[in-house]
Structure 1
């Protein structure tokens, strides 16, 4: 695994890539991140360079979609299904956990969808910040609720699912 640190408007991000593609975008105090022991810092890694560039465009308001090869192999089949659904949530839009569960044909699995959402290793690129409570409240976010709020404000997202 290869990584770089990227100073962003929401704090330092650790961006990680495998041979298959982008494998992680982690906040400084990211829940469920086990650290990068044994990883190699590589500033010239092509996927990491592209990710850094596209994130800079996103934070500058110049990019709404990301075009990067992704490596989601760390997730279970269910998690990968949820993460695929997250990628279909448009920029500036929010959906509820319940709506996301319906979209993946598991309407009773709201809590499991929430757990899978929280385990998304590729924050921002796979936009788990766009999922909110059914009443419009901002609930848990692996990168911190304050960062979730900042990302939604950047996108000028409505907080109503």
Structure 2
């Protein structure tokens, strides 16, 4: 079930796990609310070239524009910058015996993926926001 962050009537950060389980499929809940990861090269947006905006599947907040998506060959949709400076939250993730930077939706604090820097990507930011497809929905551009 997709929610709409634009209506401003619901504080998604206050929802319980039980409420999230009612709104999300088991696979969506595992990734978005339990910081899981979908298998590489299996997500619906990995190879997508559609023009539009990618939004959070949990709350509907807009996160990334298709113009910032690039092919990094990592197995997940990759973007070089979020839609706006306040669209995502970044925090340290020391799981799996390594230090990474986790990316969360700023509106509902759902897990999206990770951001990597300094890997020599030929992008304006030299960043790779590696995002799970299951964390996103695509809103095609009008016209």
More helix by proportion, 1 or 2? 1
Q: Same fold (TM over 0.5)?
A: no
Q: Could you tell me the TM-score, scaled by structure 2's length?
A: 0.32
Higher relative contact order, chain-length normalized (CA < 8 Å, sep 6+):
2
Q: Could you tell me the TM-score, scaled by structure 1's length?
A: 0.29
More strand by proportion, 1 or 2? 2
